[in-house]
Structure 1
């Protein structure tokens, strides 16, 4: 028999436990959703920034400008160089020993040589492997070669989805038809072509695609194992508690007190069973998911302060188990910039930038011309966007370092380039892994030619 006051007390305060569980669930959902929303917004901003930083050099109104690839229009003149991924279709109007990798379109791994007089067409989605040049944009966006391919792929996907929907609709219509049923099929079939309705009936439904289950993280696996162990331990303790309480009740009631069985004793046995169930419920760690979610969310916040963006919460505990991080050097551990630190001019070694007045005039002028002309015209050093920042390097970093060396001597390489435009070049031997050097042949004013070379020291000295 349960006292009336005790039952009223449980009924009066029983809502507290349910409300506490509901609040904990709401907190877990809100914290997780807020973290996912914040991280996704930051990653979208980072992605937009990366896409915005993908710029291309174009010539507009006689000036070289860096614009986003999405702003390129038909009629622009683009400066292309080795390593560029062409963002649009165009016609080559000036080139220097250019070779293009068109394997993304044709599947052929051999590099295709391009020139103004032969095969001048450049297609979007291809890579410039050697040389440099200027391209007149002829098609952009969905009208370019890559855009046409993507459009066809998208149309194929849409058509495939439409066929799948049509197939499913046909299966649903033929679903109630059994093997012994008679189906009325229209007899208007021309040229022996199979009827679509019969195709729908004969079509065997394709098996559903396999769904890949998300693998658990290290912490989730450990917590699952811990929860199972706690469940086993709680079940054992609960069973022992019930057995001990029942034995104690029986010994005290029937052996010591010598009482006989009454129907009211069944309530006592049920109460002991409820105590065992309570022990089992208490053993389940209900607050563990909330504690883990809050701790990982706190870790994400701390990592964000260090400019480390984390998309998934479980990445925090995965990185916590990392003992070594391997990273490339250029652009990650360094600033992705190169500078001239030593020079050997006229048998004089300088570990600092020498004064131009200390260099013989004919040697200095020849050196300036060789650096300005023999560096790709797509490589430039631009003034910093904000005061106090380093000059902005555009193009090959080694060539930018040489151009900055010219500026450090107090000279302007652009005036030399204006006097010797690319159209005046007799021949350009671009840098590649076999040649290991770059050479440019230009005509001299008094007649003849001058060869300017740069590259690996052992290659240049051997020549």
Structure 2
């Protein structure tokens, strides 16, 4: 049997089972947790200790990332500059100006056979293309400035997001010691300490709690704070805020496998489908 740091490489519970377990709330969650033997048994299946946490060796951490995923939700690929230019061109006002410029240019080069036309009129017609060209150049300038601003904002936002994620630390127990690690380094099986003011970086199940209340409005829309406890509602979710109390949890889902990650993934898929549908309608129209 393959081993990792002296323990079996095969965990006692699968990623799919953990995801299904975290879908339950309240008393139903307590009942589902009891079916796997309770939180202590769950920790045994994940080869972690409720008191000492993970060993924290590089081999163990990497194996957990390979099995359960890393605590990173990959962002949508950034839009290219040419894509932003194309989107800017879809503005209705700019489309009207483009058509007007092309019509003006076309009329400026149209010369009806009229021998009696005065010389002054011929000179005005000769320079009539300037107006259409000016409109066209103005549209091009507006499009490129808009695309450049959008491109700069997106780069700044992504840079700020990466910096925030890199600076955000969280308290976990590894090797019987409390340490601060980056939220991206958290793995399934980590024992995390949570307290008032924390933004939870991963899904977990409470091992112990002290008057713990959580704001889950970002995920469920429920404005009231939800009381959490080992015997009441032991499931805590990523993306929620701790409003009162403190506690300790075992991490059961990270990244795209957490409840927040699943929602973000579905929202991204929904946006992609909506954009594809709009493109189809435009082509059909």
TM-score by length of 2: 0.44
Larger RCO (CA under 8 A, 6+ residues apart): 2
**Bigger Rg, structure 1 or 2:** 1
